[in-house]
Amino acid sequence: MSTATTNPAEHPALLEIDDLRVSFPLERGMLYAVRGLDLTVRAGERLGVVGESGSGKSVSAAAIARMVPAPGRISSGHIRFDGSDVIGLPERDLRRLRGGQIGMIPQSPQTSMNPVITIEAHFQEALALHLGLSKAQSSDRTIELLRSVGIPDPGSRMRGYQHQLSGGMRQRVMIALAIACEPRLLIADEPTTALDVTIQAQILELFDRLVAESDLASILITHNLGIVAGHCDRVVVMYAGKVMETATVAELFARPSHPYTLGLLRCVPRLTAARTRTFATIPGSPPRVTEDAPGCPFAPRCDRVTAQCRTETPELLRIGARADGSGFASGEHSVACWHPVEFGEVA
């Protein structure tokens, strides 16, 4: 295994998504889950994707490997992985891409694993398909993988079933499955859901170690901005199926420019806050996007809204150099807002 020694920004693009749109037919109308997603992930880069429930994070991740659940479909757009068009791949090639080149850690390991087959059988299927290993070779590889993710007595554990494992152990098994065939991109969809904080920290530490050791590109989907701050290089903020803001982690936390991003940051509890201070919230709820109407999707909840925000859709544009000449807000920082937050307003 190699360890990254260069800046990920200098690496070639591994995943490129252009104007991706994913929709779900309803009894009356259509649900637009992803609306024009543009995204690039470079080799060795750690990308965080944040946003409230319903913002399109998980659907976007599923679309990368063409695993959007029925009756959803990719309406339009392009997905290129290592130069190949994923949308145009035949099913046979897709099966080799999933698990082989792209590893996925699902949000709920309990519902993602087959409850009637052993842990070992899950690995045997993947290792035979992608690496052509025999049953004996698969057993050795399974023990090695389970040991690498910190599962004690892997030889016995792999002969058991998922219901015999704790939530943290099941998540470790899913991580081992995701890296079993040495993928180039690892997608983790809320990997710490329903785990206590101690186990969450262990899982994230394990995730970081495996990504660094294998020089993997990774996409970490989460609601938690604290996780993004400690485990990602760059971040994408999504809302109502659209990208609201994208920047390096350092710049996003120093110079949040979209009112939604600022709202999310203000919602993070702080140990230094006065005890009399109430928790900040963003009023209202994310919309259920059943029509691709013009205007900013955050307008109904935004305290900076104007008539322009309600009628004209802002494009995701790069932020120019700041007047203070700080060097922040480079070409890595883009925002979709008619009235972005100024630095002096952040508090």
Which residues of the chain are under the pLDDT cut of 70? 1-10, 271-277, 320-331, 343-347
> How does pLDDT run across 38-86, given as a tens digit for each residue?
999 999 999 999 999 889 999 999 999 999 999 999 999 999 999 999 9
The reported pLDDT for the residue numbered 137 is: 95
- Is the distance from CB of 154 to CB of 107 less than 8 angstroms? no
How many CB atoms are located within 10 Å of the residue 285 CB?
11
CA 181 to chain centre: 20
Spell out the SS3 assignment of 227-270: HHHHHCCEEEEEECCEEEEEEEHHHHHHCCCCHHHHHHHHCCCC
What confidence score (pLDDT) does residue 112 get?
Answer: 84
pLDDT (0 to 100) of residue 130 = 92
- Are 158 and 143 within 8 A, CB to CB? yes
pLDDT in tens, 194-209: 778 888 888 899 899 9
pLDDT at 90: 92
Show Cβ contacts of residue 162 under 8 Å, excluding neighbours closer than 6 positions. 109, 110, 113, 114, 115, 119, 170, 173
C-alpha 189/C-alpha 103 separation (Å) is 11
What are the helix (H) ranges across the chain? Answer: 57-64, 91-97, 109-112, 119-131, 135-148, 154-157, 167-179, 197-214, 225-231, 249-254, 259-266, 307-311
Distances (CA, A) of 188 to 57, 122, 203, 246: 11, 18, 11, 19
Sheet holding 185-189, edge to edge: 102-105, 185-189, 217-222, 46-50, 234-239, 242-248, 334-335, 317-318
Helix (H) or strand (E) holding 103: strand 102-105
Asked if omega into 71 is within 30° of 0 (cis), the reply is yes
CA 171/CA 160 separation, integer angstroms: 15
Q: Please state the pTM of the whole predicted model.
A: 0.88
DSSP class of 312: S
Q: Please tell me the predicted confidence (pLDDT) of residue 346.
A: 55
- Domains annotated for the chain, with CATH where assigned, are 8-238 (3.40.50.300), 253-347 (no CATH)
User: How many Cβ atoms are within 10 Å of 155's Cβ, its own excluded?
Assistant: 12
**Per-residue pLDDT tens over the stretch 321-333:** 444 444 444 457 9
Which structure tokens are listed for 328?
Answer: 């922040």
Amino acid at 186: L
Residue 1 is predicted with a pLDDT of: 37
